[in-house]
């Protein structure tokens, strides 16, 4: 009567799907601290976004909490998630009604919750990773190695990257955050957390989150993580959505030149997200708001703290460093339209 259909163990939790007779359930087993965070996030998110139906939650022992959600039937193998739209062979225009439905959800949710507050809910993806990841991943040897790397990428000459200085700047930025322009979100808008119904999944960082943190995560998934880095370094995530693996971006390094062919549907989706969601909200921000300063810090933190780039194969290490150098060191963007132009040139 009870069948275990899938199980996925990762560094943060164990999750999967099981069924009783013909009824499916999605479960997550988390540490007590993460369990409390997800419960708090769910309570906030459910008032703004369509979410999964939570049917049970409780502490199962002194170390773990269990969340049991009703399985979302619109999601099946290679079907129902944002990742599946990027994996299929349709043109962007053919699926535009699905993309637009997702964009409208975020536009309305952000417009209705946008305000300046001090928030810590996103720390689990950013500030907390300074000690748990950056201080562990990167050492003096790596800093020196990076400074000696030089190569060409797009129209940029990537060289003399002071990685240690950037890490120091990130530490200062995240330790001195005060009030920020925030929206209600779950701060992890990746391909596997957004359903085309639409529906939003995963509520660990749910609540008021810095708008630029949300944007930076979304941006990085569209540029490189969703169609490349996650497929290469976290392939198990896609056990139920393997079609995206066949659409992995092509990255080549020859004659000291690095080339990254970004998925064209992702670029179009990102540009539409900026024009329909980000741009209108920035018009409501404070006149003195330096949005790009926030954005680049959140973005670079995302680039170097999801995976350990010091252990990547050489061309992947270069790709991470290229985007880090361009967006953190090279650009001084003031208008969101300038960022759109840069995306189209990549």
Residue 36 is assigned to a structural domain of this protein: yes
**181 and 88 housed in the same domain:** yes
**pLDDT value at position 329?**
94
On whether the CB atoms of residues 186 and 203 are closer than 8 A, the answer is yes
Expressed as residue numbers, the domain containing 61 is: 2-70
CA distance 327 to 189: 20
In terms of domains, do 49 and 156 share one? Answer: no
| Residue 76 maps to a domain | no
Q: Is residue 152 located within the same domain as residue 22?
A: no
Copy the structure tokens of residue 23: 């009824």
Instruction: Tell whether 115 and 166 lie within a shared domain.
Output: yes
pLDDT in tens, 257-288: 999 999 999 999 999 999 999 999 999 999 99
DSSP one-letter string for 211-263: HHHHHHHHHHIIIIIIIIIHHHH-GGGGTT-GGGGGGPPEEEEETTEEEEE--
User: Which 8-state DSSP code applies to residue 276?
Assistant: I
Q: What is the pLDDT of residues 8-39, one digit of tens each?
A: 777 677 888 888 888 889 999 999 999 999 99
Asked if residue 210 belongs to a domain, the reply is yes
Mean confidence (pLDDT) of the chain? 95
Q: Are 36 and 91 within one domain?
A: no
User: Quick check: 171 and 164 in contact, CB under 8 A?
Assistant: no
* pTM as predicted: 0.95
Q: Residue 34 falls within a domain, yes or no?
A: yes
138 near 167, Cβ under 8 Å?
yes
Point out the domain boundary residue: 70, 99, 127.
70
- 94 and 48 share a domain? no
Going by DSSP bridges, is the β-strand pair 156-159/150-153 parallel, antiparallel, or unpaired?
antiparallel
Residue 247 is assigned to a structural domain of this protein: yes
Mean pLDDT of 322-342: 96
Same-domain pairing of 288 and 266: yes
Residues in Cβ contact with 78 at an 8 Å cutoff, skipping those fewer than 6 apart: 84, 87, 240, 241, 242, 243
pLDDT tens track for 200-247: 999 999 999 999 999 999 999 999 999 999 999 999 889 889 999 999
What the block records as the tokens of 316 is 């992947």
Q: Which residues, 6+ apart, have CB-to-CB distance to 124 below 8 Å? A: 37, 204, 205
In this predicted model, what pLDDT tens digit does every residue of 116-150 receive, in sequence order?
Answer: 999 999 999 999 999 999 999 999 999 999 999 99
* Closest of 167, 160, 118 to residue 297, by C-alpha: 167
Angstrom distance (rounded) from CA 255 to CA 235: 29
The residues pairing with 158 across neighbouring beta strands, listed in sequence order, are 151
- What is the per-residue pLDDT for 15? 84
Are 92 and 98 in contact, with CB atoms under 8 Å apart?
Answer: no
Residues 216, 276: one domain?
yes
Interatomic CA distance for residues 164 and 260, integer angstroms: 25
Residue ending a domain, among 17, 41, 70, is: 70
pLDDT at 37 (0 to 100): 96
- What average pLDDT does the segment 155-179 reach? 95
**Using one digit for the tens of pLDDT, what is the confidence trace for 73-118?**
999 999 999 999 999 999 999 999 999 999 999 999 999 999 999 9
Confidence band, pLDDT 50/70/90 cuts, at residue 1? low
Helix (H) or strand (E) holding 171: helix 163-175
- Residue from 105, 111, 97, 101 nearest 280 by CA: 111
Specify whether 52 is located in the same domain as 108.
no
* Of 35, 70, 105, the domain-final residue: 70
On whether residue 328 sits in a domain, the answer given is yes
Domain count, the chain: 2
% of the chain residues with pLDDT over 70: 98
Q: What is the pLDDT of residue 61?
A: 86
Q: Please tell me whether residues 226 and 99 are part of one structural domain.
A: yes
Q: What is the pLDDT of residue 3?
A: 66
- Pair 13, 144 in one domain: no
CATH number of residue 49's parent domain: 3.30.200.20
At residue 54 the predicted structure's pLDDT band, cuts being 50, 70 and 90, is very high
Residues 91 and 214 both lie in one domain? yes
DSSP 8-state secondary structure symbol assigned to residue 124: G
pLDDT of residue 235: 92
- What pairs with residue 257 in β-bridges? 152, 254
Query: What's residue 2's pLDDT?
Result: 64
Q: What are phi and psi of 269, to 5 degrees?
A: -65, -40
77 located within any domain: no
**Residue 56 burial (10 A CB sphere; 0-12, 13-18, 19+):** exposed
């Amino acid at each position: 009567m009870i069948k275990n259909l899938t199980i996925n163990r990762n560094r943060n939790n164990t999750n999967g799907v099981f069924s009783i007779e013909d009824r499916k359930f999605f479960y997550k087993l988390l540490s007590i601290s993460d369990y409390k965070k997800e419960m708090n996030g769910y309570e906030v998110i459910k008032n703004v976004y369509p979410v999964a139906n939570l049917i049970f939650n409780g502490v199962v022992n002194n170390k773990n909490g269990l969340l049991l959600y009703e399985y979302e039937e619109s999601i099946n193998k290679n079907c129902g998630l944002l990742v599946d739209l990027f994996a299929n062979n349709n043109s962007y225009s053919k699926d535009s009604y699905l993309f637009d439905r997702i964009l409208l959800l975020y536009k309305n949710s952000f417009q209705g919750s946008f305000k300046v507050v001090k928030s810590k809910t996103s720390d689990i993806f950013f500030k907390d990773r300074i000690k748990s990841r950056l201080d562990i991943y990167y050492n003096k040897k790596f800093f020196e190695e990076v400074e000696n790397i030089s190569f060409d990428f797009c129209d940029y000459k990537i060289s003399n990257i002071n990685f240690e200085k950037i890490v120091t700047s990130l530490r200062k930025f995240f330790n001195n955050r005060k009030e920020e322009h925030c929206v209600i979100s779950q701060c992890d808008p990746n391909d596997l957390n957004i359903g085309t119904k639409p529906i939003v999944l995963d509520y660990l960082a749910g609540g008021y989150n810095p708008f630029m943190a949300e944007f930076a995560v979304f941006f990085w998934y569209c540029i490189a993580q969703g169609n490349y880095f996650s497929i290469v370094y976290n392939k198990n995530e896609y056990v139920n959505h393997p079609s995206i693996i066949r659409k992995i971006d092509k990255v080549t390094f020859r004659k000291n030149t690095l080339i990254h062919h970004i998925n064209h549907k992702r670029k179009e989706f990102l540009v539409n997200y900026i024009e329909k969601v980000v741009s209108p909200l920035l018009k409501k921000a404070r006149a003195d708001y330096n949005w790009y300063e926030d954005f680049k810090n959140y973005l670079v933190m995302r680039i170097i703290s999801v995976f350990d780039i010091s252990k990547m194969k050489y061309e992947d290490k270069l790709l991470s460093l290229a985007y880090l150098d361009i967006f953190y060191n090279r650009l001084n963007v003031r208008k969101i339209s300038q960022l759109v132009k840069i995306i189209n040139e990549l």
